[in-house]
């Protein structure tokens, strides 16, 4: 659904490469950056393709993200489980073992 928003926002100016460009924008959104650093990174990266409309596009994109219409890129189930389980399960097991001894 958010890809559709990106495609509509980019419009007819990029009709030939719209699908690839919108996928690229979604990949940029998924970068592990926060706040102004993320915004600046996207502006620098997209400026060659979007030219003078880059700042307006990135501003609109972040405004839309702030509204909560996109929850982020799909993560690998294995990757997500490793982080969640390894941290909490190992910590819980270690704490339980230490308390019993």
pLDDT, mean of residues 84-99: 46
Question: Which tens digit of pLDDT belongs to each residue from 35-84?
Answer: 899 999 999 999 999 999 999 999 999 998 888 755 555 544 444 444 44
Closest CA to 9 of 58, 65, 69, 51: 58
Structural domain spans, the chain: 2-70, 76-101
Report the percentage of the chain scoring pLDDT > 70. Answer: 66
pTM of the model: 0.64
- Three-state SS sequence of the chain: CHHHHHHHHHHHHHCCCHHHHHHHHHHHHCCCCCHHHHHHHHHHHHHHHHHHHHHHHHHHHHHHHHCCCCCCCCCCHHHHHHHHHHHHHHHHHHHHHHHHC
Percent of the chain with pLDDT over 90: 46
């Amino acid at each position: 659904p958010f890809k559709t928003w990106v495609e509509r926002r980019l419009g007819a100016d990029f009709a030939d490469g719209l699908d690839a460009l919108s996928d690229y924008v979604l990949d940029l959104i998924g970068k592990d950056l926060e706040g102004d650093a993320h915004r600046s990174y996207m502006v620098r990266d997209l400026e060659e393709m979007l030219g003078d409309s880059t700042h307006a596009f990135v501003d609109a994109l972040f405004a839309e993200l702030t509204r909560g219409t996109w929850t982020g890129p799909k993560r690998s189930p294995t990757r997500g489980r490793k982080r969640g389980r390894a941290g909490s399960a190992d910590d819980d097991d270690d704490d339980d073992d230490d308390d019993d001894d």
